[in-house]
Amino acid sequence: MMLIVMLLIGLASAFMGSLVGLGGGLIFVPSLLFLSKFSESFSWVTPQNVVAMSLLIMIFTGLSSTLTYLKSKRVDIYSGLIFLTGSIPGALVGVWLNSYVNINSFELYFGILMLGLASLFFVKDYLLQFATARNTRGKKFYVHREFNLTGKKVEYSYSIIFGVIISFFVGMISGLFGIGGGSLMVTAMILFFSFPAHIAAPTSMFMIFVSSIVSSSAHVVAGNVVWEYALLAVPGAWLGGVLGAKINQTLDRQVLEWILRILMIIIGIRLIL
């Protein structure tokens, strides 16, 4: 029974995360928090080990998604590496902060985070209409990128310094709460850096893959990973990551994002109360 439950949690988390570039922690972490209240089998759940397991599983989610996206040439590896110079130190700071959080405080903070991210989803489409391409070619500390996306040339530019700062705070949230941070990063990439949506989500998954390796390694060293349960979720996470990445290329995600918004609000309110 435990095998089936962990497989399904891993599958659902990775599928939703890969599909919209989130990483899956927004589903995985609250799922285990809820199960810990209703089942003795999950009495081992603490903020430290649930975040550690979420980050560990995101390695496989991120890897499977990234490999799929690489085949369709939608990952901006160069930009991803630039952003990682901010998100990796931020993730380590988040892991350190997580060690001081108890279960009740963690649920409250995670619930507030869920409501905040759900609100971001509601206003994201409105904000993104103000995203415009910027002519920054030749400017110091700016990067100009060009991609051939399904036969159409796309261009975008961004400030390296601003990108690293944003990435640091996204990484810190990821390390603290065990989420990929994709909802924040993808929105920032589109709104502030003029990334096309179908480049932003794959690049976000690449970043999640790399930063999760660093964050989960810190948790492994601290002894926070419950291996017998984490390994049960890995096969589901791998499959979910592949399926989500493939469907991302063909599916209109608006309906799914609405479902995710409502689900995040319900989860957020439940965790706070």
Q: How far is the C-alpha of 25 from the C-alpha of 200, rounded, in Å?
A: 18
Tell me the mean pLDDT in the region 98-117: 87
Q: Mention every residue, 6+ apart, whose C-beta is less than 8 A from residue 64.
A: 14, 18, 237, 238, 239, 241, 242, 245
> Please, are residues 146 and 154 in contact by the beta-carbon 8 Å criterion?
yes
> Please, are residues 177 and 22 in contact by the beta-carbon 8 Å criterion?
no
Give the per-residue pLDDT at 165. Answer: 92
Residue with tokens 């990483």: 23
Q: Mention every residue, 6+ apart, whose C-beta is less than 8 A from residue 70.
A: none
Check whether 132 has a pLDDT greater than 60: no
* Predicted confidence band of residue 137 (pLDDT cuts 50, 70, 90): low
* Predicted confidence band of residue 131 (pLDDT cuts 50, 70, 90): low
Tell me the mean pLDDT in the region 128-133: 56
Tell me the mean pLDDT in the region 64-79: 84
pLDDT digits (tens, 9 = 90+) for 182-236: 667 877 887 778 787 778 888 888 888 898 898 889 888 888 888 888 888 888 8
Amino acid identity, position 265 = I
Tell me the mean pLDDT in the region 147-164: 79
* Predicted confidence band of residue 159 (pLDDT cuts 50, 70, 90): confident
- What is the chain's mean pLDDT, rounded? 81
Give the per-residue pLDDT at 172. Answer: 92
* Predicted confidence band of residue 73 (pLDDT cuts 50, 70, 90): confident
Check whether 136 has a pLDDT greater than 60: no
Q: How far is the C-alpha of 70 from the C-alpha of 75, rounded, in Å?
A: 6
Tell me the mean pLDDT in the region 127-146: 62
Global pTM reads: 0.81
